Amino acid sequence: MTDYRTLFDLQGRRALLLGAGGIGGEAGRALAAHGAEVVCADRDTATAEATAAAITAAGGLASALALDVTDPDDLEGRLDEVGDVDVAVLTAAMNVRKRLLDYSPDEFDRVVALNLRGSFNVLRGVGRRMIARGAGSIIAFSSIRARTVEPGQGVYAATKAGLESLVRTAAVEFGDAGVRVNAIAPGVVETPLTAQIKADPEWYRAYATKGALGRWSQPSELAGAVVYLASDASSFVTGSTLSVDGGWTAVDGRFTPPA
């Protein structure tokens, strides 16, 4: 019989964070709290070290690693260094908020290089190793922008839609080996990346009231979804995108008509 008390137990598992700041940092702390050893990887060494230190200070097991997902050779070498991982969480992403006609080719290339090609590199590198072991869970962060677009978000949205397609494909191709691949799509989250919006009270309120819950989320509110997809609680979940958006994609428009 299934022992439901242990569904979320991650004791003895190793998790690799690819993007250790913000949402990634909260995910790492949550995974460690459920027993996982966490390898905190980030292009910025200080970010990786800070998250690893926070996990260790809370009694968890963690290490830090400098890693660039846009560089396939660096990624492959670092994955060899890390060794076996049971869970990989990819949060690394960027955005250049501009309308399409204002976008430069260089800006387009930079956003696509990290958000889409970086994701491709991770799925290949981590997926190949998990397939060889016959088990694993890959969790990639998408966005509500994969489905709902606004002016200035076109290229970012395109990369997230592409990421979700890669996730579904990887789930199908890796499934026979026992490897699960899923995505999480957050709504509006209070992070340094959204400081520009928070600085504009009207813009900030418009985003808050768009969702069913009428507020922004905190990075910690994404962590439960990560633990779920990393654990045995989601053992039959693959190829899915889990929306954690406060009902953003459930609401039609920003006007509440009279009943």
The length of the chain in residues reads: 259
Q: What is the pLDDT of residue 253?
A: 72
Residue 243 pLDDT > 80:
yes
Residue 256 pLDDT > 80:
no
Please compute the mean of the pLDDT values over residues 130-159 and round it to a whole number: 96
The DSSP annotation for 184-221 comes to: EEE-SB-SGGGHHHHTSHHHHHHHHHHSTTSSPBPGGG
Which pLDDT band holds residue 255 (cuts at 50, 70, 90)?
low
Please say whether the structural domain 9-189+223-242 has been given the CATH code 3.40.50.720.
yes
Helix (H) or strand (E) holding 105: helix 105-112
User: Mean pLDDT score of the chain, rounded to an integer?
Assistant: 95
Residue extents of the structural domains in the chain = 9-189+223-242
86 phi/psi in degrees, rounded to 5: -95, -30
Distance CA 246, CA 213 (A): 5
Q: Give per-residue pLDDT as tens, 77-107.
A: 999 999 999 999 999 999 999 999 999 999 9
Burial class of residue 147 in the structure, from the number of CB atoms within 10 Å of its CB (0-12 exposed, 13-18 middle, 19+ buried): middle
Q: What is the pLDDT of residue 157?
A: 97
Distance CA 239, CA 257 (A): 36
**Number of other CB atoms surrounding residue 152 within 10 Å:** 16
**Number of other CB atoms surrounding residue 68 within 10 Å:** 18
User: Alpha carbon of 173 to those of 130, 176, 183, 239: distances in Å?
Assistant: 12, 7, 16, 10
Which pLDDT band holds residue 173 (cuts at 50, 70, 90)?
very high
Residue 259 pLDDT > 80:
no
Q: What is the pLDDT of residue 196?
A: 86
Angle at 100 between CA 99 and CA 101, to 5 degrees: 95
Distance CA 28, CA 17 (A): 7
- At position 244, the amino acid (one-letter code) is V
Q: What is the pLDDT of residue 254?
A: 66
Structure tokens at 100: 């399409």
| Residues marked as catalytic | 156
Q: Give per-residue pLDDT as tens, 189-240.
A: 998 778 888 899 999 999 999 999 999 999 999 999 999 999 999 999 999 9
Of all residues in the chain, the percent with pLDDT exceeding 70 is 98
Pairing of strands 136-141, 37-42: unpaired
Of all residues in the chain, the percent with pLDDT exceeding 90 is 92
Q: Give per-residue pLDDT as tens, 9-24.
A: 999 999 999 999 999 9
Terminal Cα-to-Cα distance of the chain (whole angstroms): 49
Distance CA 203, CA 151 (A): 13
- At position 147, the amino acid (one-letter code) is R
